[in-house]
Amino acid sequence: MKINIDNLKKKIIYRSNYRGTKEMDKLLSTFTKKYINQFNYLELEQLDKLLDIDDNNLYNFYNGLDTDFNFENNKINNLFKSFDFEKE
């Protein structure tokens, strides 16, 4: 069963808002709100995959620290890593 793009966006928005830590809730929800309507279906799938990663590894990746996870080199991961939360 293929998820349509609107359902995928709703799923991503929900998952970005309810992470488990308030810091990641704020970071990921702000990132998602800014870019979600600019992403095509493949990029939304990449974002959904990024949201599967635990908060600690995402936090470390975002801050340039060592992670226990091998992050793919793709547009979404690179955009997230370079996202300037302070300016939002």
Each residue's pLDDT tens digit, 64-87 = 999 998 999 999 999 999 999 887
Convert the chain into a string of H (helix), E (strand) and C (coil).
Answer: CCCCHHHHHHHHHHHHHCCCCHHHHHHHHHHHHHHHHHCCHHHHHHHHHHCCCCHHHHHHHHCCCCCCCCCCCCHHHHHHHHCCHHHC
Among the ranges given (3-7, 14-18, 69-73, 75-79), the one the predictor scored with the smallest mean pLDDT: 3-7
Each residue's pLDDT tens digit, 28-53 = 999 999 999 999 999 999 999 999 99
The first and second tokens of residue 46, run together, are 């990449």
CATH class of 5-82: mainly alpha
Residue 1 has pLDDT above 50, yes or no: no
Domain boundaries, the chain: 5-82
